Structure 1
Amino acid sequence: MLHSPQVQESEVEFTAIRAQGAGGQNVNKVSSAMHLRFDIHASSLPEAVKERLLALRDSRISDDGVVIIKAQTERSQERNRAEALRRLQEMVDSVAAPPRVRRATRPTRASREKRLESKQTRGRLKAARGKVID
Structure 2
Amino acid sequence: MIPHLDSEIFFTASRSSGSGGQNVNKVSTKVELHFDVMNSKLLTNEQKQVILSKLKRHINKEGILKVTVQETRSQFENKEIALKKFHSFITSAFQKAKKRIRTKATRSSKERRMQSKKMKSEKKQWRREKW
TM-score, with length taken from structure 2? 0.67
Q: Matched residue pairs, number?
A: 129
The 1-side partners of 2:73 and 2:18 are apart by 13
The 2-side partners of 1:46 and 1:99 are apart by 21
More RCO (CA 8 Å, sep 6+): 1
TM-score, with length taken from structure 1? 0.65
Deviation at 1:47, TM superposition (A): 3.0
- The 3-state SS of whatever aligns with 1:35 is strand
How many percent identity over aligned positions?
34
* 8 Å Cα contact 1:7-1:89 kept in structure 2: no
Deviation at 1:81, TM superposition (A): 0.9
Q: Which amino acid aligns with 2:6?
A: E
Q: Kindly report the root-mean-square deviation, in angstroms, between the aligned alpha carbons of the 2 structures.
A: 3.9
- The 3-state SS of whatever aligns with 2:57 is coil
2:67 to 62, 66, 69: 69
Structure 2 stretches lacking a partner, 5+ long: 101-131
**Which structure is higher in helix share?**
2
Instruction: Name the counterpart of 2:105.
Output: none
Query: Within 5 A, what are the aligned runs for 1:1-134?
Result: 5-43=2-40, 44-56=42-54, 58-99=56-97
